[in-house]
Amino acid sequence: MAQLFTVHPENPQARLLKQAADLLRRGDVLAVPTDSSYALVCQLDDRAAADRLRHIRRLEDKQLLSLLCRDLSELASYARVDNAQYRLLKLGTPGPFTFILEASKEVPRRVSHPQRKTIGLRVPEHRALQGLIELHGAPLLATTLILPDDEDPLNEPATIRQRLEHDIAAVIDAGACPRVATTVVDLSVEAPTVLRRGRGDPARLGL
């Protein structure tokens, strides 16, 4: 059965996050809380783990995953960012926004858009997840934890553990999440475009 790491949402226990980070480095998939909803995550450079993550969600290869970064400087290492884009990113990070940007050479070709060469990136504002990314030492590949045939993301750690007990290695339990999707902003086009309105207020970005 998947492990359950119960952490404080504001002051997460480092020893538990370290155990979770060790599982990621081993190639496992985890369920983690974010500032929007629970998500499935794995290492960026682990193809087998990414395939397992897609299998759990029943996602096709053309359906893109996102990168969760620890801060804006790390985000800028995985995307091509000009000055205007950087100003918008600075306004929206950390926070419940996913930004579509041109992927840099640091992003494996298999996780970027096959035609546009873009990637969705975000810097989540959640202490436990920030701590996990910091201990892991690199961005995490992620997708919202909505199971096939479900309409909404799973939000109860005990339920997540029960339904995915043989598919993931662990659940980080930091309590319930807002259960509202991120706002998606496409910065890869000439004029920044809001593709989906979610928890992040576009007005924060001046959009």
Q: Cα–Cα distance between 53 and 71 in angstroms, integer?
A: 24
Indicate the length of the chain as a whole number: 207
User: Which is nearest to 57 in space by CA: 45, 40, 42, 44?
Assistant: 40
Structure tokens at 53: 């993550």
Query: Residue 105: what pLDDT?
Result: 86
Q: Cα–Cα distance between 46 and 108 in angstroms, integer?
A: 10
If you search the block for the tokens 């419940």, which residue do you land on?
96
Residue 104 and residue 79 in contact, taking contact as beta carbons nearer than 8 Å: yes
**What string of pLDDT tens digits covers the 207 residues of the chain?**
899 999 999 999 999 999 999 999 999 999 999 999 999 999 999 999 999 999 999 998 777 889 999 999 999 899 999 999 999 999 999 999 999 999 988 887 777 666 678 999 999 999 999 999 999 999 999 999 999 989 999 999 999 999 999 999 999 999 999 999 999 999 999 999 999 999 999 999 999
Q: Is the pTM higher than 0.85?
A: yes
Considering Cα of 18, then 119, then 56, then 157, what sign does the dihedral take? positive
